[in-house]
Amino acid sequence: MLFNSIQFAIFLPIVFLLYWFVFDSFIKKSKNQLRLQNAFVVMASYVFYGWWDWRFLLLIAFTSFCSWGSGLLIAKAETRKKAKTWMWLNIVLNLGILALFKYYDFFASEFAELFNVSTVGLLLKVILPVGISFYTFQALSYSIDIYRGKIEPTKDIVAFFAFISFFPQLVAGPIERATNLLPQFLKKREFDYDNAIDGMRQILWGLFKKIVVADNCAVFVDHVFSNYTNETGSTLLLAAIFFTFQIYGDFSGYSDIAIGTAKLFGIKLMRNFNVPYFSRDIAEFWRRWHISLTTWFRDYVYIPLGGSRVSKAKVVRNTFIIFLVSGFWHGANWTFIAWGAYHAFLFLPLILTGKNRKYTNQVAEGRRLPTLKETGQMLLTFFLAVMGWIIFRAESIGQAWEYVRGMLQFGTLRACYRFFTLPEIRLTSLFVVIMLVIEWLQRDKQHGFEGIEKLYLLHNKYLRPILYALLLLLMMVFGGKHASFIYFQF
């Protein structure tokens, strides 16, 4: 079920009303109030996930049960060695399932090409379960954190199933830790009106970024990438910039909708994006982009390898490892590995000079506008990100190389100008500018519409509904045709 679908527009209000105002009165009469509330969350989440393909409900249930059981076995283990064995069994099991569905055919195809053998009977051609990369990593963090002593295992299997399958973040994150999300399912939740209102605003902001910005960018991007050999360099550059905003609007929009939806149910999810295109170097960009995945690899891969506490050579090694693994996490294609390697190389100068933690504050903090130096830094970082997204978007390394070659042969601006004469391109550009302006003004907030009642004329309670109505009208009139989210394929 997609967040931007009619089905979800019907599903969410029904679940919300049942959760707070129908079953709540029944649940309060029961001795197992919390367990019944969590059971309803699991039921709603399984309906949400099963809407796509009910058969994969068995897979997520199996993952949940094994990870829950492993937590109990790790805690009960008589020795540290046995606890480690149970932890690794769960890791191997979960990563084995992920590898089977996501990577087996890729490696089988590469093997067949390398040894010049037929792939007939070699490929499984299985459908990739939506969200498997996200909930697998969420399950892994649970057993690892129990082994490390950061969290106690729960005996409440219903609460654990709710933690793994919580529908707002089930398909594309944020990738939550058991230390943050699981305890919220182990305590009573009360309806908070202000929190729910803020959640609705964040949902609206996420829908705007997805439906109005990302989906309209996608139309132009798909056209140019499908015909890149026939386009001028300026047009290729414009399409690459549009894709940069498409993937941001698409993925950060999903995260906003997920976080906002969770607020409606009294659950707080971690922030996943923090205005990454206002970063002053590539290290800051990665502290602001897909935060839940970046911090996951930091805590469970980078730091165990020694992190930054080792020699410069090993720090470089560790950096390349996490970026290559992160790239491969995105999909079974050499382009994702190349994209990870590209960003690792961009990190090298910052690591070698010890400047990779230089920018940890918000840009232009306490000021309305950035300095000339900050503007130049943001533009350079943005351009580096654009180049990386070309590799990410391409279907092969060869296509990425040809696309960049064509783009650098800038040629005439006439073809690019021709696209700007099209009303839909000008409108899309306007939507991108609106998004950037709002995010700049709200860069110290959790999302674009947080505290919107304090902004300029919007403190007037009669003007805010007009703004919301205009946004909904924009979505209905100018909404793009790309329904699915990009990160559903990962």
Residues marked active site are found at 330
Tracing tokens 């994150």 back to the chain, one arrives at 173
In this structure, what are the phi and psi dihedrals at residue 359, rounded to the nearest 5 degrees? -115, 100
Angstrom distances, CA of residue 111 to CA of 105, 118, 283: 10, 10, 35
Our CA angle for 299, 300, 304, nearest 5°, is 90
User: What would the DSSP string read from start to end of 395-420?
Assistant: SSHHHHHHHHHHHHS---SHHHHHHH
User: What would the DSSP string read from start to end of 351-377?
Assistant: HHTT-TTS--S-TTTTSSS--HHHHHH
The sign of the torsion formed by the CA atoms of 192, 198, 199, 200 equals positive
User: Using an 8 Å Cβ cutoff, are 404 and 386 in contact?
Assistant: no
Task: Residue 209: name the closest of 13, 392, 5, 471 by CA.
Answer: 471
DSSP designation for 270 = P
**Helix spans in 77-192 (H):** 80-102, 104-114, 132-147, 157-165, 167-170, 178-181
The sign of the torsion formed by the CA atoms of 109, 218, 222, 275 equals negative
